[in-house]
Amino acid sequence: MGESRFLSKLRAPSRVPLLGARGAQNGTTGRERSDQLSERVQRMLVTSLYAQPSSLAIGAIATVSAAIVSAWISGMTELYVAAAILTIIAVARVTAALGMSPDSENNSTASLEFVYEIGAFSFALALGCTAAFTILTGMQTQVEVLMVANALGYGIGVSARNAGRLTISIGQLGLTCVPIALACFWIGDIGFIALGVTILLLIPAMISIAKNIFNVLRDSIAAAETSRKLADKMQVLARTDVVTGLANRAGLNHAMVETMMGVDDTSQLALIWIDLDRFKEVNDLLGHPVGDRVLSEVAKRLSGVTPDGGTVARFGGDEFIVFCPIADRKQAEMIASEVHCEIMRPFRIDGERLEVRASLGVSLLPEHGKDADTLMQCADLALYHAKVGGRGQTCFFNSSMSRDLVRRREIEDELRAALQRDELSIFFQPIVDLETGKIKTFEALVRWFHPEKGELRPDEFIPVAEETGVIVTLGNWITAQAARIAATWPEEVTIAVNLSPLQIRAPGAALGIKNALREAGLDPKRLELEVTESLFVEDNHSTAAFIEELSEIGVRFALDDFGTGYSSLGYINSFPFSKIKVDRSFVSGAHVGRKSDAIIRAVAEMGNTLGMDIVAEGLETIEQVQAVKDAGCNLGQGYYFSRAVPDYLAAMLLAQEREQDERQASA
Ligand code: C2E
Ligand code: CA
Ligand code: CA
166-187 per-position pLDDT tens digit: 899 999 999 999 999 999 999 9
**Cα 550 to ligand 1 centre (Å):** 23
Task: Give the model's confidence band at 566: pLDDT under 50 very low, under 70 low, under 90 confident, else very high.
Answer: low
Residue 323 CA to residue 326 CA, distance in Å, equals: 10
Which residue's CA lies nearest to atom 8 of ligand 1?
445
Give the CB-side neighbour count of residue 299, counting CA atoms within 13 A.
29
Q: In Å, what is the CA distance from 542 to each residue of 112, 270, 491, 545? A: 76, 40, 31, 5
Give the CB-side neighbour count of residue 217, counting CA atoms within 13 A.
22
**Cα 29 to ligand 1 centre (Å):** 70
617 CA closest ligand 1 atom index: 15
**Cα 583 to ligand 2 centre (Å):** 9
Nearest ligand to the CA of 562 is 3
Residue 646 CA to residue 626 CA, distance in Å, equals: 28
**Cα 586 to ligand 1 centre (Å):** 15
Contact 406, 416 (CB under 8 A): no
Q: 3-class SS at 132?
A: helix
Residues pairing with 187 in the sheet? none
Residues in the chain: 667
**Cα 445 to ligand 1 centre (Å):** 6
Nearest ligand to the CA of 425 is 1
Other Cβ atoms within 10 Å of 626 Cβ, number? 12
Q: What is the pLDDT of residue 10?
A: 35
Contact 589, 562 (CB under 8 A): no
- pLDDT exceeding 70 applies to what percent of the chain? 92
Find the largest Cα–Cα distance for the chain.
Answer: 155
- Bridge pairing between strands 347-349 and 352-354: antiparallel
Nearest ligand to the CA of 583 is 3
> Is pLDDT at 22 greater than 80 in this prediction?
no
Residue 569 CA to residue 585 CA, distance in Å, equals: 19
pTM > 0.85 = no
Residue 530 CA to residue 637 CA, distance in Å, equals: 14
pLDDT tens-digit profile of 429-439? Answer: 999 999 999 99
Give the mean pLDDT of the chain.
Answer: 87
- For ligand 1, mutation pick of 428, 429, 441, 498 (most atoms within 8 Å of CB): 498
**71 or 50, higher pLDDT:** 71
Residues pairing with 425 in the sheet? 447
pLDDT tens-digit profile of 302-354? Answer: 999 999 989 999 987 899 999 999 999 999 999 999 999 999 999 988 888 88
Residue 295 CA to residue 302 CA, distance in Å, equals: 10
Which residue's CA lies nearest to atom 43 of ligand 1?
498
Give the CB-side neighbour count of residue 413, counting CA atoms within 13 A.
5
* Lining residues, ligand 1, CB within 6 Å: 429, 444-446, 457-459, 462, 475, 478, 498-500, 530, 560-561, 584, 618-620, 637-639, 644
Q: What is the pLDDT of residue 27?
A: 38
- For ligand 1, mutation pick of 424, 445, 502, 504 (most atoms within 8 Å of CB): 445
**Cα 583 to ligand 3 centre (Å):** 6
What 112-115 contacts at long range (C-beta under 8 Å, 24+ apart), as own/partner pairs, is 112/46, 112/47, 112/49, 112/50, 113/46, 113/49, 113/165, 113/168
Q: What is the DSSP letter of 540?
A: S
482 CA closest ligand 1 atom index: 41
Contact 14, 245 (CB under 8 A): no
Nearest ligand to the CA of 501 is 1
Q: What is the pLDDT of residue 39?
A: 77
**Cα 640 to ligand 1 centre (Å):** 15
Residue 664 CA to residue 667 CA, distance in Å, equals: 5
Contact 16, 25 (CB under 8 A): yes
**Cα dihedral angle (644, 645, 651, 653), rounded to 10 degrees?**
-70
> Is pLDDT at 21 greater than 70 in this prediction?
no
Task: Give the model's confidence band at 390: pLDDT under 50 very low, under 70 low, under 90 confident, else very high.
Answer: low
Nearest ligand to the CA of 431 is 1
